[in-house]
Amino acid sequence: MLINKNMKNLLDIKKALRKYKKSGQAKILQRFFKTGPGEYGEGDIFLGLKVQEIRDVSKKYQESSFSDLKKLLSSKVHEERSVAIMILNYQFQEADTKKRGEIYNFYLKNLSGINNWDLVDSSAHKIIGEYLRVSKTSRKILYKLSKSKNLWERRLSIISTFQFIKNGEFKETLKIAKILLKDKEDLIHKATGWMLREVGKRNLLIEEEFLKKHYKTMPRTMLRYAIERIPEKRRQAYLKGKI
């Protein structure tokens, strides 16, 4: 049977990943990423690779086609989706404006494969956030995702704003954080609190202006993450509701 070039490349990537397979580490990762019944990563399969090993494979195959990456993102194997995400990051970083637009659109069309917190956190701001920051594309997509029924899409909406924060833009972060105040998921509380903390690292007055309005009603985990860098005396005041 003849194997076309794209199929061979895909098989090579899978084979390269499996060279690093470690059953003991895979079991640890499956517990860490909550893959049991009813947990957020239910059904996810791990090979047990270290991040650097995934990075090494990604660099070797960073010229992979969208066709290959789509297949990797649809895999039940976590590291196969991880390598696809890393390759997209590499490609985006090196791409011209036109190609970046293509990667941005491809990413959004394949969100179903970006379905764990590490996959979102390592790519959303680098691709979605950066593309929206420098292009004239509407940022309405972030607000749409923030109201999605899908946990990972909501997390992506707030994490994408990290790129805005790094460049001194806080408006989208604060607006989306307000939308997510009533979210029921702990992973959203942590992500939102983290982004609020990042705002505060650059402009504490702006973060505290938001906190003063919402700290008494926001989820406790979100608050704890948001005030982590605030001086201890004031941090305790927030926790005790005495601001």
**Confidence at residue 243, expressed as pLDDT on a 0 to 100 scale:** 85
The backbone torsions φ and ψ at residue 43, rounded to the nearest 5 degrees and listed phi first, read 85, -10
The domain limits of the chain are 1-95, 123-243
Rounded Cα distance between 65 and 62, Å, is 9
Bridge partners (DSSP) of residue 77 are: 45
Please state whether 39 falls in left (phi above 0), alpha (psi between -120 and 50) or beta. Answer: beta
**Confidence at residue 9, expressed as pLDDT on a 0 to 100 scale:** 87
> How confident is the prediction along the chain (243 residues), in pLDDT tens digits per residue?
334 455 568 999 999 999 999 999 999 999 999 999 999 999 999 999 999 999 999 999 999 999 999 999 999 999 999 999 999 999 999 999 999 999 999 999 999 999 999 999 999 999 999 999 999 899 999 999 999 999 999 999 999 999 999 999 999 999 999 999 999 999 999 999 999 999 999 999 999 999 999 999 999 999 999 999 999 999 999 999 988
Rounded Cα distance between 67 and 224, Å, is 42
For residue 165, give both structure tokens.
Answer: 């924060």
Q: Do domains 1-95 and 123-243 have the same CATH topology?
A: yes
The topology under which CATH files domain 1-95 is Leucine-rich Repeat Variant (1.25.10)
Question: Closest Cα partner for 155 from 133, 131, 123, 107?
Answer: 123
Question: Closest Cα partner for 188 from 163, 222, 161?
Answer: 222
Question: Closest Cα partner for 123 from 156, 99, 153, 146?
Answer: 156
Question: Contact 138/172 with Cβ under 8 angstroms?
Answer: no
**Confidence at residue 142, expressed as pLDDT on a 0 to 100 scale:** 98
* 13-50 core/surface letters (b: 16 or more CB in 10 A; e: else): bbebbeebeeeeebeebbeebebeeeebbeebebbbbe
The length of the chain, given as a count of residues: 243
Architecture label for domain 123-243: Alpha Horseshoe (1.25)
DSSP state of 129: I
